[in-house]
Structures are given as structure tokens and as C-alpha cells.
Amino acid sequence: MVETYNLTKYYGKTPALQGVSVRIPPGNVGLLGENGAGKTTFLKILLGLLAPTAGSARLLGRDLSDRELRRRVGYMPEEDCLPPDLSPMDFVVRLGRLSGLPYRAAMERAHDVLYLVGLGEERFRPIGGLSAGMKQRVKLAQALVHDPQVVFLDEPTAGMDPQGRDEMLQIIRDLRDKLGIHILLSTHLLLDVERTCDAVVILKEGQVIAQGPLAELLAGLEERVYVRVAGNPHEFAQILQGAGLRAAVVGTEIAIESDAEGLYEIIWKEAAQHHVQIRRLERQGRTLEQLFVRLMSL
């Protein structure tokens, strides 16, 4: 879907991207990184809104200067980008026509995509009177109106309530599963990526520090177990450390990360030997958050 070679961008003397070379496969891909990691710069270069200082990139097998490419790409920006006095219908029709849709087709598709994103009669109300969640849906609708092959989503669930967020994530999954539209999702919400993406690219200070299928990256993590004990957790944490486990106190619990065989047996055995009462023991699957925190701390 996306190939970049040594992509570099400087704002004055400040580097935003430093030699980014990635090969992003088709599908739903999450673009992760802390604030200022270069995610938005990366997206804007791929969209042709920014020129790279050095390096090159190809999207859907085409050079970024190819104007035809723009018919195949949709973009949902993070920031508010909607004129308040227009209705969603008028706005989406307007942008559909700019993408080359004939008037009648633009009207039909505007109705279709606004319905798809969950806007009913609200599509005829001025955008200025819509809630933050509805505005997010309008932003998604304009990115889809011209039926792109790939859509870049920048923080698509920002400002949405839990139910709206669930619906938005379901739409994003459906875009790939039912409509075959590829997604590049830039977000801070790691759970959103876990729920919608097959692969991730993680940026740190303008450089790629990890990329690949999510399952493969998570498989490299150690299992994490949380233990709550009666009494002082620090003492038991030290005991577990003495038994060769990587244990640390997190709040009132002890977090243990280990791939050791028979991890639970070791914990039970140490607890029994030292007369420590275990109140709760919970295994947490390998999470993107775990991977992200580990990579950011390197």
C-alpha cells in the first residue's frame, strides 16, 4: 500500500522525519507514536500536502506526484475542518464533485456515505450545530464520498462518546472487511488500533522503531501477570525477584513479566513458602500498550 525510502522532512533545522523507510502492506495499519513523533508529517507527505526534504514515497504503486492518485485516497484530518454554515450533505456533495464525481453521482454517494457513517436527518442541519461525534462522522463521510481505495484517518474517534466510538471503530473494520478499503490509522488510542488494525508502524522522534503485523510484534512480548497479596506487596515482589522473575509493584499490585515455564507454579510455591496470602492473580494478554511502553522506554 505504502512504500517509502529514506523519507526525511525538516522544518527549518528541526527534524520531523529522519530517513523513514517502510513498506506498509494492504489492510488496516495503525500509525503510532508520541506527540511530535512525525505521524502527521508522514501522512501529509503521503497526501501531497507537504514536500519531503529528501527521500521518496509511493502510494498504491504510484508516485505521489500522480494526480490520479488523489482520486484513490481519502483523508480524515485530526483537526476541525468543517464549515459551520453548510449542511453535511452540501459539504460532502461539494467535495465529491471536487474529486470528479458527476453531480448526480455525488448526490447519491453523499446520501449513501452519510447514512453509512450513521447520520440520518442530521445530514441536512448546519454542521455548526452538530455534536463533536457527529462532526467526526461528517469528516469520515467526506473522506469516503469518492470511493477511495485507501483512507488516512487521523484520530478518528477523538471527542466521541463510548457508544459513538464503538460505532466508529465498527465502521472502520467494515471498510476493510466488507468494502475492501485499506486504512492507515494514526491515533494515540492504542485500543483503537488493537481493535481495527492488522499491522502497525511505530514512530519515535521521526524514526521508525517498529513495524510489522500486530500478531508478530505482540508474540515477541513476555506474558504479564498481576498479583494482589494480603500485606505488603513490596516484600513479595522482592521474593519473586529472588526467584528470578521480573516483578515490580504497580499501585497495590505486583506486575510480573516473564516467559518462564511454569510461571504460576513458581508464584504459588514462593507464596506458600513465605506464607503470603494471594488474594488475586490475573493474567493479562500481550497488549499493544505493553509493546508501545517498552519501545518508548528504549
Partner 1 sequence: MTPKSVIYDQGYRRYEGRYLGRGYAIWSLFASDLRRALGMKRSWQYKVGLGILTTIIFAQALTFFFVSTVGPAALITPQAMLFDGMSFFLLILSAMIAPDLLCTDRRYRVLPLYLVRPIELYDYLLAKQAVLVGVVALASFIPQLGIFLAKALIAPSALEYVSTHGWMVGASAAASLVYALFYGAIASAIAALTPRWSYAAGAIIAVPVALGLASGIITILTKNPWWQLLDILSFPSALKDALFGVTIQATTFTFRMGREGEIPREVTMQPLETWIYGVAAGAFIVGALGILFARYVRARYE
* Positions in the binding site for partner 1 (CB under 8 A): 47-50, 67-68, 70-71, 73, 75, 77, 79-86, 90, 94-95, 97-103, 105, 109, 112-113, 115-116, 142, 146-147, 179-180
Give exposure, 283-298, as e/b (b: 16+ Cβ within 10 Å).
eeebebebbbeeeeee
Which of 41, 24, 4, 5 lies closest to 199, judged by CA?
24
Give 167 or 194: the residue with its C-beta nearer to partner 1: 167
Give exposure, 97-117, as e/b (b: 16+ Cβ within 10 Å).
bebebeeebbbebbeebbebb
- Closest distance between partner 1 and the C-beta of residue 3, in Å? 19
Q: How far is CA 274 from CA 38, 180, 223, 231, 278, in A?
A: 50, 57, 24, 12, 11
Give 102 or 129: the residue with its C-beta nearer to partner 1: 102
- CA separation for the pair 152, 138 (Å, rounded): 15
Gyration radius of the chain over CA positions? 23
- Closest distance between partner 1 and the C-beta of residue 180, in Å? 8
Give 174 or 282: the residue with its C-beta nearer to partner 1: 174
- Closest distance between partner 1 and the C-beta of residue 111, in Å? 10
Give 24 or 45: the residue with its C-beta nearer to partner 1: 45
- Closest distance between partner 1 and the C-beta of residue 262, in Å? 51
Residue 248, SS3?
strand
Torsion sign over Cα 162, 195, 190, 26: negative
Give 173 or 246: the residue with its C-beta nearer to partner 1: 173
Which of 180, 160, 177 lies closest to 168, judged by CA?
160
Give 126 or 242: the residue with its C-beta nearer to partner 1: 126
- Closest distance between partner 1 and the C-beta of residue 128, in Å? 10
Residue 176, SS3?
helix
- Closest distance between partner 1 and the C-beta of residue 146, in Å? 7
